[in-house]
Amino acid sequence: MCYDVKASLEAQLNRARRNGDLKTIEEIMEKLVPLSDLPIYHASGFSHPKLLIYTDEAPDIPTVSTWGLVPFWVKDKAQLKKTWNHTLNARGETIFEKPSFRNAAKNNRCLVYVDGFYEHHHIKGATIPFYIHARNKEPLALAGLWSEWVNRETGEVLNTFSLVTTEGNELLAKIHNNPKLEGPRMPLILPKELENDWLNPIDDELDVKKIKELIRSYPSTELEAYPVHKLRGKEYLGNVPEISEKMSYPELETHPLDL
């Protein structure tokens, strides 16, 4: 799964900067960034942080969006609060079937750029967080789904998103070993040459097939991982740069992971 991310301003603006339009970047910095929770050195999806996403409607200009997709059919805020903790992730294999995601899977796909993400490893009764990032230190483009929800009482419009997940690769198979879950999972990371394919519109079943073909594990050889500070409990440092520093744990010294 993917419930914890690191997203710097530099990573989030990765796509916008490719066009070299300085005026647009200035407008994003002035109008959008203050509405977000950036920079994020660590944030849990369960806190519903606000990040920048790039949608199929505006591929090069980001939108501020809250993590935890709220389907358009949610009636009120009470139902919203019951829903969005369960829609932080969207299982890629079933996004065209599940009621919460099928409309977004067909019509509202997006990209979320992050520096990396965190996963927990369970060993000898201990839970140890690992930070996973691109080996070349470039931002990761995560595939997402987005939705606009309108509060019928106030007219407020809330833009929300979910991160699509897929089967974990060999690296995640070693790290993401939660005994309560079936098999390792990981966010759907898109190589740069396939990012636009995820945003392409769907007109027929052939296009659906093309989107489904993008849902696969990212190569382990392109990623690196190392243990970091605790992300939960009394030892949690909070959303600070030090949170992703490399740490040593006795459990890993006696039972090292071959990463």
Per-residue model confidence as pLDDT tens digits over 63-89: 999 999 999 999 999 999 999 999 999
Instruction: Tell me the C-alpha distance between 242 and 94, whole Å.
Output: 37
The residue written with tokens 């979320």 in the block is 112
Q: Is residue 145 part of a domain?
A: yes
Give the pLDDT band (50/70/90) at residue 231.
Answer: very high
pLDDT exceeds 90 at position 22: no
Give the pLDDT band (50/70/90) at residue 203.
Answer: confident
Instruction: Tell me the C-alpha distance between 59 and 106, whole Å.
Output: 16
Q: What's the confidence (pLDDT) of residue 32?
A: 96
Compute the average pLDDT of residues 100-106. Answer: 96
- The structure's pTM equals 0.96
Domain extent at residue 248: 4-254
Q: Is residue 216 part of a domain?
A: yes
Q: What's the confidence (pLDDT) of residue 179?
A: 74
Q: Is residue 245 part of a domain?
A: yes
Write the DSSP assignment of 99-132 as a string of letters: TTTHHHHHH-EEEEEESEEEEEEEETTEEEEEEE
Q: What per-residue string of b and e applies to 81-116 under the rule 16 or more CB within 10 Å gives b?
A: eebbeebbbbbbeebeeeebbbebbbebbbbbbbbb
Answer for the pair 177, 127: CB distance below 8 angstroms, yes or no: no
pLDDT exceeds 80 at position 182: no
Q: Is residue 185 part of a domain?
A: yes
Residue 69, domain CATH: 3.90.1680.10
**Tens digits of residue pLDDT in 87-100:** 999 999 999 999 99
**Tens digits of residue pLDDT in 28-69:** 999 999 999 999 999 999 999 999 999 999 999 999 999 999
Give the pLDDT band (50/70/90) at residue 253.
Answer: confident
Q: Is residue 259 part of a domain?
A: no
Q: What's the confidence (pLDDT) of residue 65?
A: 98
Q: Is residue 86 part of a domain?
A: yes
Secondary structure (H, E, C), 35-98: HCCCCEEEEEHHHCCEEEEEECCCCCCCEEEEECCCCCCCCCHHHHHHHHHHCCEEEHHHCCCC
Q: Is residue 234 part of a domain?
A: yes
Q: Is residue 27 part of a domain?
A: yes
Give the pLDDT band (50/70/90) at residue 235.
Answer: very high
Instruction: Tell me the C-alpha distance between 144 and 104, whole Å.
Output: 9
Nearest residue to 144 (alpha-carbon basis) of 26, 8, 45, 32 = 45
pLDDT exceeds 80 at position 237: yes
Residues 6+ apart with CB under 8 A from 14: 113, 139, 141
Give the pLDDT band (50/70/90) at residue 152.
Answer: confident
Question: Which tokens belong to 248?
Answer: 């040593």
pLDDT exceeds 80 at position 13: yes
Q: How many domains does the chain have?
A: 1
